[in-house]
Structure 1
Amino acid sequence: MLGALATALVPAFVLAPRPLAASTSGGGFGGQQGLIDSLSKSFVDYWSSGDRTFPPGLERAVDYWRHYHVVKAVIAAMLLAVLIALGALLWKAFLRAGGLGAASRFALASAAAVVTALAVFSSAMVMANIQGATAPFSSLLSMLPVHAPHGELADTLHQVRQHLADYPNTGDRTPPALEVMVSDFSRYHAVIAVAATTVAVVLIGMSAVSWRRSARTGASDRRTRRVFRSFGLVSALLSLVVIVVAVANTTTTADPAPALLAFFEGGW
């Protein structure tokens, strides 16, 4: 049952968000290019409006993008829960597989390792989509064709770069739209900073528990000791990676303008 659920949730994660977001937000955009075209036009209108409030076109796109990431976050969280349960069953089966042949034990260990890796990937997807749902405007900006703009969009992006290069020393000349972008971009990275810190604490706890369980396991039960030691080592290494992510995003949260400028210059 868990395998069937995981198999169904993977394509759902890819295929379901767009139609569901379109139905819950009041309309879609007929594909990714339609969203890009609408965003490009509405972003130009927003920049030239001199107002902090999104114009209707941009508000519609941001609302759609929020719903899109909410759907993906929910599906990714469901998939993560299924994979955790499935992985736990597979690892328990492997630890109790003393009477099975080497091929069967290898198959169980391989399946458990693959499911564990997919669970790690799913947790990253949960974090990324919570980020997109919390700060959909910054997430949506990644769809702007900043590498090859044309027409009014090219002029607008040039003005954005100029103001970001001087930010925050622009005084009264700071466009309201720029203040919104910088503030939302800070929130965008703050979400990942908080989420990564939480995940790092969980991983460190898992590593400590795994090493403790390994130490308490009898020397004769080498399979169990090996599994707990592997979990302890992998959890510790993953926690280091997540800590780096948390620190990088905390730095960007405190000073978002340079990273936002790098984006508009095509740096990422």
Structure 2
Amino acid sequence: MKTIAAALLLGISGLAMHAQDKAVPPGEDRVYKTVDGQELHLWVAKPSGKPTHTAVVFFHGGGWTGGTVTQFDAQTKELAERGMLVVNVQYRLVAKAPSTESPQVCLEDAKSAMRWVRSRAKEFQIDPHRIAAGGGSAGGYLAAATALVPGWDDPKDDLAVSPKPNALVLFFPVVNVGPSYYDQHRFGDDPRKYSPEAYVSRNTPPTIIEGGGADKLVPPDELKDFKAKCDAAGAKCVLDFYPGQPHGFANKEPYRSLTLNAVMHFLESIGYLRKDTPDVVVPTQ
């Protein structure tokens, strides 16, 4: 168990890493919480097209130890243009390996951000029951965990406000942190307790997963297992694989646009985007 001093040091270290980023996501910079005197920010990109009154909240990847909050800039601009409110979240980071520091603070922040957005639904003119969460890799874990994994709430939050998203948009997400898949010894002796896959039920929100067929960090079988559990429970889960693609493939073209088009069709199917939403033009290689 970490000491309080270590927790403070790691939290401040993570904030400093983000503070050094010169680029910030599109949208209005807002502070959603303050931890030990350090502000945590998110960026709210308001619809530039006719509003759909829906939202998506993105969490960047980076193994909970790094990454950039601008990871979803392209998706943010396109989805906002099509009428969605899009939010990108800064969260505290933990120490890199060989540290086995738990990503508890990451998930605490993710749940705080979801509560912040939902509690301001009236201000942003969004439906509090149509807020999606999205992310890539470790950020995909955070998005899925806000929906499925109990606990790891910031005790200072208004716990009466649900952090659970109403849909999930996941790119090569970590959904199983057990020894058979993504085990970095960061989840204690019972990692299954913190695996989104362990909590799949008929109440799992509609989900789309974009996976790499050659991903060695989040292997295809992990995502297939998640979908199989969703199917068995009667929960909607769309799983797309892109042959030969490694982890992180959707961060570059043409896969950024290909996966975004898939996501937009999914969002259309659940009523988050209009049925006539045009595809993004996919760049040629």
The answer to whether TM tops 0.5 is no
TM-score of the superposition, structure 1-length normalised?
0.33
TM-score of the superposition, structure 2-length normalised?
0.31
Which structure is higher in helix share?
1
Larger RCO (alpha carbons 8 Å, 6+ apart): 1
Find the structure with the greater CA-based Rg.
1
